[in-house]
Structure 1
Amino acid sequence: MGATDADATVDAGVAPALVDTIQHIEDGDVLVVNGDSRTWDVSDVVDRSIEDPNDARESKRVCRLSCGASVFGLELVAYPDRYTASLHVLATEDWTEDGQVFDVHDVEILTQQVPWVVVTGGGDRYHFPDPQAAAFGEAQPACGGGNPGATYRVVRSNTVRPTYSGCKDCLRHEKPVALESVTCPSCSKAICHGTFQGGAVGAVDGLSITCPRCGFDGVVDIDVDSGVVGVDDSTT
Structure 2
Amino acid sequence: MGATDAAATVDAGMDPALVETIQRIEEGDVLVVNGDSRTWDVTDVVDRSIEDPSDARESKRVCRLSCGASVFGLELVAYPDRYTASLHVLATEDWTEDGQVFDVHDVERLTQQVPWVVVTGGGDTYHFPDPQAAAFGEAQPACGGGNPGASYRVVRSNTVRPTYSGCKDCLRHEKPVALESVTCPSCSKSICHGILQGAAVGAVDGLSLTCPHCDFEGVADVVLDH
Query: TM-score band (shorter)?
Result: over 0.9
TM-score, normalization by structure 1: 0.92
**What amino acid is the match of 2:40?**
W
TM-score, normalization by structure 2: 0.96
**What amino acid is the match of 1:71?**
V
CA distance in 1, matches of 2:218, 2:154: 32
1:1-236 aligned at under 5 Å gives the runs: 1-224=1-224, 226=225
CA displacement at 1:10 relative to structure 2: 4.1
CA distance in 2, matches of 1:141, 1:9: 41
- Deviating 4+ runs (over 4 angstroms): none
Asked if the contact 2:34–2:106 (Cα under 8 Å) also holds between the matched residues in 1, the reply is yes
- RMSD over aligned Cα atoms: 1.2
Please give the secondary structure, in 2, of the residue aligned with 1:96.
helix
Deviations 1:71-103 (A, max 9, x none): 000000001111000000001111111111000
CA distance in 2, matches of 1:219, 1:166: 34
Asked if the contact 1:11–1:85 (Cα under 8 Å) also holds between the matched residues in 2, the reply is no
**What amino acid is the match of 1:145?**
G
What number of residue pairs does the alignment pair up? 226
Structure 2: runs of 5 or more not aligned: none
Deviations 1:117-171 (A, max 9, x none): 0000000000001111111111100111000110000111111111100000000
Asked if the contact 1:129–1:142 (Cα under 8 Å) also holds between the matched residues in 2, the reply is yes
Asked if the contact 2:57–2:77 (Cα under 8 Å) also holds between the matched residues in 1, the reply is yes
